[in-house]
């Protein structure tokens, strides 16, 4: 099986004042018309309540104003050479546990594996450990040699004040799991967080948008800006060559307030000898202020491919952020030929976010939503860019196993020791990679536009 994801490329930038403890195509499979390629001059704009079909932009786009430190801890570790070939859970070698001192309360935990892969098309897993107990487990089974982006997320409420440890474990089912890139560990205080735990099963989807009842939040009255996270630890679709769209929606059915927060697509290819399952993690922002209750829910649609969710239960999390949120969205499609783009930086058609130099640490979540390849063994590499220079040490990449497959790509990165008083600018670049057969291309679409979010 295969599943594909039309991603929202989301870069979530969170200001944190505490110190760190360590350093396309179209959904129906058709090829986009050449006229959809960008001219490089399209504006990237935040969305408003009048545009319900695009992800919410949160607060004002532009330059971040006003400090509001966030309790944030981060560590990166591991190497491309790390290999796991056991069926038992064990610590990932080279990844030092993240030790931190918490003030107590709710905490969000994220592990980002930018591009792991497996041999022999076997299943493999990653799980987040907090104080020696499993918090969140993600399972994936890519095709031979596919690099995938895996981002397990967990929320631990009422974490006691004091010293704690976050670590990562992995396992492989009768084969080998290759790390591919370093792992990145993040612990962030999330006071007032709300979590909705769904149920496994399905199939979900149909010709029209259909709510997933178990993933509707209770009414929420929160601060203006919130980080929204949907995590499906393991999912696949029932029909090869077709996909099921998944979207996170604020205030579903209220005409003046409904807003798509984030979206993606799961897809399975007609390659039944090698069934594929992949996790889906979507990040978005939503304004939940105004003193009135709001709801967050999940909708699905897919006339042919219907989504099945297994493994750990899916979760929808709402995290209040104590800073103004900045968000920019890409408004045009982008194609990139392998021959022209491989090994070079290509700016994503996306306005950068500018931050005042009032914080020494910034969190960036870069999410590529609608990323597609037109040929076998064609993929894309994404990198964050700060002050005009790409961060080549923290790429995320995918390689398509077959034509017309979408793959998720997410980067979670904390920039430490920024110089106070110096303005910081964040953007993103990408490159095409793989074999140049018949002018094959990597593609970013616009149904769920590339987005940078900063706070």
Q: Write the pLDDT tens digit of every residue in 321-343.
A: 877 667 776 767 777 776 554 45
pLDDT digits (tens, 9 = 90+) for 109-166: 999 987 887 776 678 899 999 999 999 999 887 766 677 888 999 999 999 999 999 9
Report the pLDDT value the prediction gives residue 44, as an integer from 0 to 100. 29
CATH of the domain at 434: 2.60.120.760
**Which stretch, 75-84, 152-161, 180-189, 331-340, has highest mean pLDDT?**
152-161
Q: What is the mean pLDDT of residues 345-352?
A: 80
Strands (E), 310-421: 315-320, 326-329, 334-337, 346-347, 353-355, 362-373, 378-386, 389-390, 396-399, 405-406, 409-415
Instruction: Please give the residue that has the higher pLDDT: either 326 or 168.
Output: 168
Report the pLDDT value the prediction gives residue 309, as an integer from 0 to 100. 76
Report the pLDDT value the prediction gives residue 303, as an integer from 0 to 100. 65
Report the pLDDT value the prediction gives residue 402, as an integer from 0 to 100. 55
83 pLDDT band, cuts 50/70/90, is confident
Is residue 39 assigned to a domain? yes
Is residue 342 assigned to a domain? yes
Distance, in Å, from the CA atom of 111 to the CA atom of 107, rounded to the nearest integer, reads: 13
Distance, in Å, from the CA atom of 367 to the CA atom of 10, rounded to the nearest integer, reads: 4
Q: What is the mean pLDDT of residues 60-71?
A: 53
Distance, in Å, from the CA atom of 296 to the CA atom of 48, rounded to the nearest integer, reads: 17
Phi, psi for 220 (deg, rounded to 5): -120, 130
Distance, in Å, from the CA atom of 199 to the CA atom of 52, rounded to the nearest integer, reads: 27
Report the pLDDT value the prediction gives residue 46, as an integer from 0 to 100. 29
Report the pLDDT value the prediction gives residue 401, as an integer from 0 to 100. 55
Report the pLDDT value the prediction gives residue 437, as an integer from 0 to 100. 60
pLDDT digits (tens, 9 = 90+) for 352-374: 878 888 888 888 888 877 777 76
Q: Is the pLDDT of residue 5 over 60?
A: no
Give the percent of the chain with pLDDT over 90.
21
Is residue 425 assigned to a domain? yes
Domain count, the chain: 1
Is residue 127 assigned to a domain? no
304 pLDDT band, cuts 50/70/90, is low
Residue range(s) defining the domain that contains residue 388 = 6-44+51-68+324-454
Distance, in Å, from the CA atom of 162 to the CA atom of 166, rounded to the nearest integer, reads: 13
Report the pLDDT value the prediction gives residue 8, as an integer from 0 to 100. 38
Is residue 412 assigned to a domain? yes
Q: What is the mean pLDDT of residues 288-301?
A: 90
State the residue for tokens 């006071």.
191
Mean per-residue pLDDT of the chain: 75
Q: Is the pLDDT of residue 59 over 50?
A: no
Picking from 383, 382, 394, 454, the residue whose alpha carbon sits closest to that of residue 424 is 454
**Which stretch, 96-100, 241-245, 347-351, has highest mean pLDDT?**
96-100
Structural contact between residues 391 and 385, judged by C-beta atoms closer than 8 angstroms: yes
Is residue 204 assigned to a domain? no
Is residue 414 assigned to a domain? yes
Instruction: Please give the residue that has the higher pLDDT: either 249 or 120.
Output: 249
Structural contact between residues 104 and 218, judged by C-beta atoms closer than 8 angstroms: no
Is residue 125 assigned to a domain? no
Report the pLDDT value the prediction gives residue 389, as an integer from 0 to 100. 85
Report the pLDDT value the prediction gives residue 197, as an integer from 0 to 100. 93
Distance, in Å, from the CA atom of 153 to the CA atom of 128, rounded to the nearest integer, reads: 8
C-alpha neighbours within 13 Å on the C-beta side of residue 156: 23
Report the pLDDT value the prediction gives residue 339, as an integer from 0 to 100. 59
Picking from 151, 444, 429, the residue whose alpha carbon sits closest to that of residue 283 is 151
């Amino acid at each position: 099986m295969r599943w594909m994801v039309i991603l929202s490329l989301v870069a979530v930038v969170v200001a944190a004042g505490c110190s760190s403890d360590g350093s396309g195509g179209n959904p129906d499979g058709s090829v986009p018309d050449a006229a959809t390629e960008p001219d490089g001059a399209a504006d990237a704009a935040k969305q408003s309540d009048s545009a319900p079909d695009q992800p919410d932009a949160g607060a004002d786009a532009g330059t971040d104003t006003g400090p509001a430190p966030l309790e944030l801890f981060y560590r990166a570790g591991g190497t491309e050479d790390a290999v796991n070939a056991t069926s038992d859970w064990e610590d990932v070698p080279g990844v030092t546990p993240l030790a931190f001192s918490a003030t107590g309360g709710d905490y969000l935990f994220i592990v980002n594996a930018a591009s792991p892969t497996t041999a022999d098309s076997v299943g493999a897993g990653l799980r987040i450990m907090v104080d020696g107990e499993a918090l969140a487990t993600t399972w994936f089974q890519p095709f031979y040699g596919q690099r995938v982006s895996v981002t397990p997320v967990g929320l631990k409420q009422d974490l006691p004040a004091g010293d704690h440890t976050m670590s990562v474990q992995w396992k492989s089912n009768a084969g080998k799991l290759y790390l591919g890139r370093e792992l990145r560990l993040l612990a962030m205080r999330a006071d007032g967080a709300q979590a909705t735990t769904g149920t496994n099963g399905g199939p979900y989807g149909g010709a029209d948008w259909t709510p997933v009842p178990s993933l509707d939040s209770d009414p929420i009255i929160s601060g203006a800006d919130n980080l929204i996270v949907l995590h499906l630890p393991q999912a696949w679709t029932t029909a090869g060559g077709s996909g099921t769209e998944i979207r996170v929606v604020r205030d579903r059915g209220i005409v003046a307030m409904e807003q798509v927060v984030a979206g993606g697509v799961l897809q399975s290819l007609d390659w039944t000898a090698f069934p594929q399952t992949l996790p889906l993690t979507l990040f978005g922002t939503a304004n939940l202020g105004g003193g009135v209750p709001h709801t967050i829910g999940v909708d699905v649609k897919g006339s042919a491919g219907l989504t099945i969710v297994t493994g750990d239960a899916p979760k929808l999390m709402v995290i209040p952020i104590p800073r103004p949120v900045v968000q920019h969205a890409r408004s045009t499609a982008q194609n990139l030929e392998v021959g022209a783009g491989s090994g070079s930086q290509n700016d994503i058609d996306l306005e950068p976010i500018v931050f005042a130099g009032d914080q020494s640490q910034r969190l960036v979540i870069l999410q590529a939503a609608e990323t597609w390849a037109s040929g076998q063994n064609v993929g894309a590499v994404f990198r964050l860019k700060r002050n005009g220079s790409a961060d080549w040490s923290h790429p995320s990449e995918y390689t398509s196993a077959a034509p017309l497959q979408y793959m998720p790509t997410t980067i979670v990165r904390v920039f430490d020791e920024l110089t106070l008083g110096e303005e910081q600018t964040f953007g993103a670049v990408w490159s095409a990679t793989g074999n140049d057969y018949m002018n094959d291309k990597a593609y970013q679409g616009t149904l769920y536009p590339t987005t940078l979010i900063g706070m």
